[in-house]
Chains A and B, each alone.
Chain A
Amino acid sequence: MNSSTLINALFIFVLAGFIGFEVIRRVSPLLHTPLMSLTNALDAIAVVGAIVLVGEHKSTLSAVFGFIAVIAATSNIVGGFLITDRMLKMFKSSRPAAKP
């Protein structure tokens, strides 16, 4: 890795850190659990790298690793979005009773 790549990566890392901090700083305590599930679904974005690994099929080992990785990440995406959606549905039904 040359130094300009490293500097670019550090720029992205630091700026992303600030974005992450500012985005979650004022989350309502009510939404902590759905936010955990949503970030769980979003962190499965690593599926992108896994799909490339499987698709390129450069060696058997990398294809097998990628295959397992795609399965794990997809189960996270599907399960994470489903359960976040279910939680928010529960909030909707109980909110009129809490705040008339």
Chain B
Amino acid sequence: MTPEFAGSQVIIEILYLIASALFILSLRWMSSPTTARHGIWAGEAGMLLAICGTLLHHGIVDYRLIAIALVLGTIIGVPLGRVAMTAVPQRTALSHAFGALCVTLVGSAEFYLR
């Protein structure tokens, strides 16, 4: 770590720490009907902080591809969030498959880069 990047590195780590705390609070609040709505807000805030923190990462050189991928993901995600309520179990299962796909690809790419 070179000194000029140390500052942004610390900011990123702090943002990740706040995001982790917000995720735990989010799940905690989701366990009771009166606070469930706060749970969604905490989750969204945590996700926003984590993504913003990652965009500050000094190794990132190509923001254009990231923006295209985020927009494409949003275009796919909006219809997935608007399915009929009876289709929710299937939707959640499919969505878990997407999550697994993401983790698998990240792991494979990291292994390939070693």
Contact between chains at B65 and A63 (CB < 8 Å):
yes
Q: Roughly how many angstroms separate A24 CA and B23 CA in the complex, as a whole number?
A: 13
Contact of A23 among B28, B63, B81, B99 (CB under 8 A): B28
Q: Apart from A42-B26, A77-B47, A81-B40, what are 6 other A-B pairs with CB-CB below 8 Å?
A: A46-B99, A57-B65, A65-B109, A74-B69, A75-B74, A79-B77
What are the 5 A-B residue pairs with the smallest beta carbon separation, nearest first? A74-B73, A82-B81, A78-B77, A55-B60, A79-B80
Chain B contact residues: over half helix, strand or loop, or mixed? helix
How many of chain B's residues have a CB under 8 angstroms from any CB in A? Answer: 64
Q: Hey, which chain A residues are within 8 Å of B88, CB to CB? A: 33, 37, 83, 87
Given contacts A35-B27, A38-B26, A48-B54, contact A57 B77 (CB under 8 A): no
Q: Which residue numbers of A lie inside 8 Å of B, CB to CB? A: 19-20, 23-24, 26-28, 30-31, 33-59, 61-63, 65-88, 90-91, 95
Say if the beta carbon of B36 comes within 8 Å of chain A.
yes
17 pairs, A vs B, C-beta closer than 8 Å: A20-B27, A23-B27, A28-B32, A37-B92, A42-B47, A44-B47, A46-B102, A56-B62, A63-B62, A67-B65, A67-B69, A70-B69, A73-B98, A74-B69, A81-B81, A82-B82, A95-B33
Contacts of A38 in B (CB 8 A): 26-27, 30, 39-40, 43
B residues engaging A (CB < 8 A)? 19, 23-24, 26-28, 30-33, 36-37, 39-40, 43-44, 46-47, 50-51, 53-55, 57, 59-63, 65-66, 68-70, 72-74, 76-83, 85, 88-89, 91-92, 95-96, 98-99, 101-103, 105-106, 108-110, 112-113
